[in-house]
Amino acid sequence: MKKLLAIVLSGLLAASVLTGCGSGSESEGQEITVAQTTEAQTEQETTEAQNGNSASFSDADDISYMMIYNPNIYDSKAEVHNDSKSTGDLSKWIDPNANRADGEKAKNKYKEFEQKALSELTKKKVPEKIETDRAGEKVPTYKLGQNHTFKCGIIENKSVPETFKCVYAGDNCYVWLRNEDSSKKKSAVKMGEEFDSKIYEKDVEMFGEPRYADEGGKINIILEPLPQGVLGFFSQLEIFTKAELVYLGMDSTTASKLNTGEAIIHASSDMIGVSDTQDEALCGTLAHEFQHLICGSDAIFNGKLKMASTWLNEAMSTYAGEVLYPGSIEVKNQDISLMISPLIRSGQSLYNFSTETDDGEGDYGVYGSVYLFADYLSKLAGKDVFKNIHDHFRRADTVKTDAEAIYNSVPDSVKSEIDSKISYPSTITFDSDAEEWLSKLTLDFYKNVLETNPAVFERLKKEYFLYDTISPADIEGGGRIIAATKNGSFDVASDADQPMVYIGFDKNFSAVTDPVIK
């Protein structure tokens, strides 16, 4: 298979289990007001404030924990990242022997793959618009019992033609099964009915219509053998037509190796019909992957190449799986995954959806992190916020950032609420008002998770989040670490980078200081 296909496919696959993690809630407790310099201050006072010399936590009787937050915005699409900030030497203040999740295991029964935003193909310089008439191709329609050939093995970078039979033809989907899997027809039909009666309607209500629905098209659910433990995946390229892919720069031979011109979700034929738990897990996967398909549709609605970045895309998908099928996090052990996550504990950005670890095992705590954010955002901004985000990308004349999409999708009252809680000094700069607001929102989100007990995460032990070394942490923009203090006190390290936000918490994880900026 040509190298281009390998490059394209490597970034466009997502396999997912019933996903989801805890629950955030609207912020409670004291307002967050960051002390900031004013024009009335003397030059010396301003310099001290900027250098963190005015930062003091002495008014708090007990600072058992300290959260250190990098307010910068990590750009997930940038080729070079230089937004990381060092906490400086923590040895004087941090207790690395506090209770942590060492020894805990996240026994993930199922595997999943990240959903990349767009392929290398669409990162090339392409026209602002693609053809909007489906490049002259019609949306295919099928009948119950009809045979059709689809390419399989895409998740393994293959393209193997297989014959499938349509075992379910509903209002919103077709379900396809190989002849050798005919014994699973009853379960396959049941899954199609579940998609028709629940998943399709709920996902469209939360996120908007997928491509092809506007022309009467339906979702094709292909049940095929997948790698062990993988429940399903969605490939971005399969909602383009072949002609569109060629128009965007892919050669015709490579495009022919893909399932093009249809809306497709792949699910595991090995998992279906084994148990009620796995069948429900598959349905949760359909809800998760269908959101990815809707999000992928944003990239080409009206012919414009734009959509949410991976972290926001995954946040909405994990939210869909948990909302439609409560208990997803128990199937996935995503609460434990989040708490023991070495990436999250050491300051990986909320906006950096990477599961890569040095040991090659993968860190799926990032799914829990973005789920918590999605749940927090939905409770703060209302049930329509995700559909508003999708609509924003679809309406935008040019490619927009995630910050702009979120900022323009929440009620004005929510914008004012966050701005009234958090005020940044002028020494912290952003590319836009939307990015500054997203930075504040993320800080409030992190504070919210510590101060509340997400109901879905009944096993959550917040001590497990703790940074476990005295070595300086390099925190990405939009990331944070939480550390236990030695003697209930803390001060900013003299060699810490600027800017950084610090909030002290007591032994019950309630904020006991206003945020301090160095």
Strand order, beta sheet including 263-268? 147-152, 160-169, 173-177, 219-224, 263-268, 232-233
Q: What is the pLDDT along the chain (518 residues), one digit of tens a residue?
A: 333 333 333 333 443 333 223 333 333 333 333 433 333 333 433 333 333 333 467 677 889 999 999 999 998 777 778 889 999 999 999 998 887 777 676 666 666 665 553 344 444 444 555 655 565 567 788 999 999 999 998 888 888 999 999 999 999 999 999 999 999 999 999 999 999 999 999 999 999 999 887 677 899 999 999 988 888 999 888 888 888 888 777 888 888 888 988 899 999 999 898 888 788 888 999 999 999 999 988 877 766 678 899 999 999 999 999 999 988 877 777 777 888 888 999 999 999 998 887 777 778 889 989 999 999 999 999 999 999 999 999 887 776 789 999 999 999 999 999 999 888 988 899 999 999 999 999 999 999 999 987 777 777 788 889 998 889 999 999 999 999 999 888 989 999 999 999 999 999 999 998 888 88
Q: Which CATH number fits domain 118-307: 3.40.50.970, 3.40.390.30, 3.30.2010.30, 3.90.226.10?
A: 3.30.2010.30
Amino acid at 76: S
Q: Which long-range contacts (CB under 8 A, 24 or more apart) does 411-414 make?
A: 411/381, 411/382, 414/380, 414/381
Strand-pairing partners, residue 483, are 66
For 237-301, the DSSP string reads GGGS-HHHHHHTT--HHHHTTS--SSEEEEEETTTTTS-HHHHHHHHHHHHHHHHHHHHHHHTTG
Domain parsing of the chain, residue ranges = 43-105+360-517, 118-307
